[in-house]
Amino acid sequence: MRAPTLDLTLLRTLVAIADTGSVTAAAKRLAYTQSTVSMQLQRLETQLALTLHEREGRKLRFTPDGERLLNHARRLLILNDEAWSDMQARQVGGELTLGIPEDYASLLPSVFAYFHQLYPGVGLQVRCGTSGDLVERVKRAELDLALVTRQRNSPGGEIIRREPLIWAVGVNQQPSLTDPLPLALYSPGADVFREIAEQALKNAGRDWRVAYTSQSMAGLAPIVTAGLAVVVVTRSMLTPLLRPLDETSGMPSLPMIELALHRAPHRPSEPARRLGELIREQLAAPVDAWAP
């Protein structure tokens, strides 16, 4: 009797639904139609003779059996991907350059470690800079990839994640929130955060003064934690030394920003393609997961 075998394609669809939070988002990630994703989920349930998901209005929730299978699926896909990459990657070498703002580098340590494991013969170089500058360097093929904040004047790239911007102060000390509001902002042109913050305050009829500027959060953090200024950050940039301000603070609401992956115009190498996939897998998350 032939042993039953789980279909890895169906398991990959299951994981995509769990990671993205919906059939619609999973279909977009996998380049399938929504009906295909739904059909594959149903096929998996039929093969196992189990109910793996339930509907709560528009939301999809995994049953206990679905959660159990999801754990197995993740491990099986990791082993599959490792085996595939190991067989394909050993002959791959060369150099690969990734551009990223300093404040986003902390999002990718596990990606860098895993990439090195998969492609030990590839020399990965990471170049930090402002989002606008990195996009221009990718266009000139000086970088293979760049993960940046999507700028108003350079909207291209593949959107990897959306995050809300928030106002933050020091966890133990904060300035007065009366006008003129003291701000710690990125240097002009360093990122879109400054433009968004100033526009939000202007729309709210608030007055402010720039207390400190820097091209990275590392430069802004000391004055914010000292309680001398308010800063604008994403959820993922919060540290134990920062405290987000909620709507009761009287600060105007801020919009979402988009993290985008830009690729050089030449055909991507196998390492560049794989690094892009790893970054997408690491950072892809449903918007609701980052809601304030």
Give, for 260, the enclosing helix (H) or strand (E): strand 256-263
Query: Has residue 228 got a pLDDT over 70?
Result: yes
Q: For position 21, which CATH number holds?
A: 1.10.10.10
| pLDDT tens-digit readout, 77-94 | 999 988 877 776 556 678
Compute the mean pLDDT over every residue in the chain, rounded to the nearest whole number.
88
Beta carbons of 154 and 255 less than 8 angstroms apart:
no
Report how far apart, in Å, the C-alpha atoms of 184 and of each of 111, 132, 203, 224, 233 are.
30, 20, 19, 7, 11
Domain end: 70, 90, 110, which one? 90
Stretch among 1-5, 114-118, 164-168, 172-176 having the lowest mean pLDDT: 1-5
Please give the average per-residue pLDDT across 251-273, as a whole number. Answer: 90
Range of the domain at 143: 94-159+258-284
Q: Do 212 and 243 sit in the same domain of this protein?
A: yes
Q: Do 31 and 77 sit in the same domain of this protein?
A: yes
Quick one: pLDDT at residue 88? 66
Query: Has residue 286 got a pLDDT over 50?
Result: no
Q: Do 194 and 209 sit in the same domain of this protein?
A: yes
Is residue 289 a part of any domain in this protein?
A: no
Q: Do 188 and 216 sit in the same domain of this protein?
A: yes
Quick one: pLDDT at residue 91? 62
Q: Do 38 and 125 sit in the same domain of this protein?
A: no
Quick one: pLDDT at residue 282? 83
Please give the average per-residue pLDDT across 268-289, as a whole number. Answer: 76
Query: Has residue 269 got a pLDDT over 90?
Result: no
Confidence of residue 136 (pLDDT cuts 50, 70, 90): very high
How many domains would you assign to the chain?
3
Query: Has residue 198 got a pLDDT over 80?
Result: yes
Give helix 8-20 / helix 23-30 axis angle, nearest 10°. 120
Confidence of residue 289 (pLDDT cuts 50, 70, 90): very low
Q: Do 66 and 207 sit in the same domain of this protein?
A: no
Is residue 146 a part of any domain in this protein?
A: yes
| Alpha carbon distance 253, 259 (integer Å) | 19
Q: Do 64 and 23 sit in the same domain of this protein?
A: yes
Confidence of residue 154 (pLDDT cuts 50, 70, 90): low
Is residue 3 a part of any domain in this protein?
A: no
Q: Do 148 and 262 sit in the same domain of this protein?
A: yes
Domain end: 90, 105, 128, which one? 90
Is residue 66 a part of any domain in this protein?
A: yes
Q: State what percent of residues in the chain have pLDDT above 90.
A: 55
Report how far apart, in Å, the C-alpha atoms of 4 and of each of 7, 143, 288 are.
10, 46, 37
Query: Has residue 152 got a pLDDT over 60?
Result: yes
For residue 7, give the nearest of 49, 38, 48, 35 by alpha carbon. 48
Report how far apart, in Å, the C-alpha atoms of 12 and of each of 74, 78, 198 are.
8, 10, 43
Quick one: pLDDT at residue 292? 33
Confidence of residue 283 (pLDDT cuts 50, 70, 90): confident
Is residue 198 a part of any domain in this protein?
A: yes
Is residue 148 a part of any domain in this protein?
A: yes
Quick one: pLDDT at residue 290? 34
pTM of the shown model: 0.68
Q: How many CA atoms lie within 13 A of 234 on its CB side?
A: 22
Quick one: pLDDT at residue 288? 39
Q: Do 152 and 267 sit in the same domain of this protein?
A: yes
Quick one: pLDDT at residue 89? 59
Is residue 1 a part of any domain in this protein?
A: no
Query: Has residue 242 got a pLDDT over 50?
Result: yes
Q: Do 262 and 155 sit in the same domain of this protein?
A: yes
Is residue 22 a part of any domain in this protein?
A: yes
Q: Do 129 and 212 sit in the same domain of this protein?
A: no
Q: How is residue 4 annotated by DSSP?
A: P
Q: For position 267, which CATH number holds?
A: 3.40.190.10
Q: Do 68 and 114 sit in the same domain of this protein?
A: no
Quick one: pLDDT at residue 93? 72
